[in-house]
Amino acid sequence: MLMEQLKDRGLFVQRALIGGEWVEAASGAVLAVSDPADGSELGTIPACGEAETQAAIAAAEAAFPAWRARPAAERAALLERWHDLLLSHAGDLARIMTAEQGKPLAEAEGEVRYGAGFIKWFAEEARRIYGGIVPAPTADRRILVLKEPVGVSAAITPWNFPNAMITRKCAPALAAGCTVVVKPSELTPYSALALGVLAARAGIPEGVINIVTGLPHAIGETLTGSTSVRKLSFTGSTRVGALLMRQSSDTLKRLSLELGGNAPFIVFDDADLDMAVAGAIASKFRNAGQTCVCANRILVQDGIHDAFAARLARAVSAMQVGDGRKDGVSIGPLINAAAVEKVRAHVEDALSLGAKRVVGGEAGFDPARFVAPTVLTGANTRMRLANEETFGPVAPLFRFRHEAEAIEIANGTPYGLAAYFYTENLHRAWRVGERLEFGMVGLNTGSVSMEVAPFGGIKQSGIGREGGATGIEEYLETKSFHMGGLKQA
């Protein structure tokens, strides 16, 4: 039992959080939550719908005036307490996450610390919400620029980062003076609910954070259709993001959408190969490849292709697959059977179109829940894995001859979230970095996500930015305040 593994059993909650109360669905209906490593039931959550979502919106709306009126320093202090509680309970939060999501415990604890970083960052940003003064055209006028919270904000979060995607959305909202309604993935709700427990312990007032669990359709439609919800932030697929955008159009909501990716990972012939292999492992196989910014297409220049492939294959062969709670495991289960089927379909399609499997197999673990880390050579742009997000531990290698060809292949996608490239040539670094059509570009690194920098994509990968100095702006309105008729002495 998950409860028995926790030092603080109060973190495991199976109810929704509305207006400071832990509640069941009015209908009494529940959804089961399963462990992806073995399919066992972890517990249930309320199958909330329109009524519960409206109640959460009303609670957030009622809490908004007092929360926005609190001095920024007080909001910051409460966020700091929330941050500290995440860190002091990191072990339990990681155990909850691994149980419901599957990632190895070390990765889960890393996510907790990463997620806490957003709370810390935006607690500090709360004190730096600056307006301005505009020089007036006449002597009797003064013009001020004020920053004010947007209002009630909704956050719809994914299953692959069930802790950090909530803190990345809620922390700037709360810092700005907004209240929130969170709809976590029904596959991984317990991480979200544990965050709600710790927020209450930190002293964040009732109604400021509300967490509604259940199936996405009814909750999403209620959030997007509400005129009380002024802002919506969503992380997930481009298809669902476009649907939410359409549903939000009648109420003209502010939107932040972090959507699908198809990240290229380019290795030029002047790259440090050891560094490039390490970066590819970190980018591609983190969370078993179930990240929106993971390397989906690995492009390697002709002259070093075989050497890079051999080193990558050796590194991948050493990876251990299994239950994320076991020591030494680096690749956990995929989230569900549909995810496994999609990854296998991508591999089979690639093999049928000429790819060669260098590493990968199914021996030693449950093939219905796990996919072996796989390296394919001979990939080409006709394959599904070149054009769709695989979302699994499969590394396809594409050959290219020259820089222009690599850029053409990399940009040949409607998505534009993240891209990576490795080179030791300063001139090439500038050229390629500027020509890649992606919202985030990593040079000689396999990581582009941290709380201090803006995160987001272009093209069909989304709208808006999370994190960094601009992240709080997504939750602020700009008001021009004109003062006229001022008498001169």
- Which domains, ranges and CATH numbers included, belong to the chain? 2-259+462-478 (3.40.605.10), 263-449 (3.40.309.10)
Paired with 149 in beta bridges are: 476
pLDDT value, residue 410? 99
Which of 48, 170, 178, 292 is catalytic? The answer is 292
Please answer whether residues 208 and 67 qualify as being in contact, where contact means their C-beta atoms are separated by less than 8 angstroms: yes
Between strands 152-156 and 229-235, the pairing is parallel
Determine the Cα–Cα distance for residues 462 and 200; give it in Å rounded to an integer.
Answer: 32
Q: What is the DSSP letter of 477?
A: E
Secondary structure of residue 320 in the 3-state scheme = coil
Alpha carbon of residue 53 to chain centroid:
23
Element (H, E) at 431: helix 426-435
Please answer whether residues 246 and 401 qualify as being in contact, where contact means their C-beta atoms are separated by less than 8 angstroms: no
By CB neighbour count within 10 A (0-12 exposed, 13-18 middle, 19+ buried), where does 397 fall?
buried
Paired with 376 in beta bridges are: 357, 396
Query: Whose structure tokens read 């990681």?
Result: 94
pLDDT along the chain (489 residues), means of 10: 91 99 98 98 98 99 99 99 99 99 98 99 98 97 98 99 99 99 99 99 99 97 99 98 98 98 99 99 98 98 99 97 96 97 98 98 83 98 98 99 99 99 99 99 98 98 97 98 94
179: its two tokens: 């209240």
pLDDT value, residue 365? 82
What are φ and ψ of residue 85, in 5° steps?
-70, -35
Secondary structure of residue 14 in the 3-state scheme = coil
pLDDT value, residue 28? 98
Q: What is the DSSP letter of 382?
A: T
Count how many Cα atoms sit within 13 Å of the Cα of residue 221 in the half-sphere of its side chain: 7
pLDDT value, residue 179? 99
pTM summary value: 0.97
Helix spans in 377-425 (H): 384-387, 403-411
Among 78, 323, 46, 331, residue whose Cα is nearest residue 203: 78
Which of 100, 258, 451, 474 is catalytic? The answer is 258
Sheet with 462-463, strands from edge to edge, namely: 21-23, 16-18, 209-211, 180-183, 152-156, 229-235, 254-258, 462-463
Sign, CA dihedral 325-329-333-334, equals positive
Among 422, 454, 452, residue whose Cα is nearest residue 439: 454
Give yes or no: 258 in active site.
Answer: yes
Determine the Cα–Cα distance for residues 400 and 269; give it in Å rounded to an integer.
Answer: 10
pLDDT value, residue 86? 99
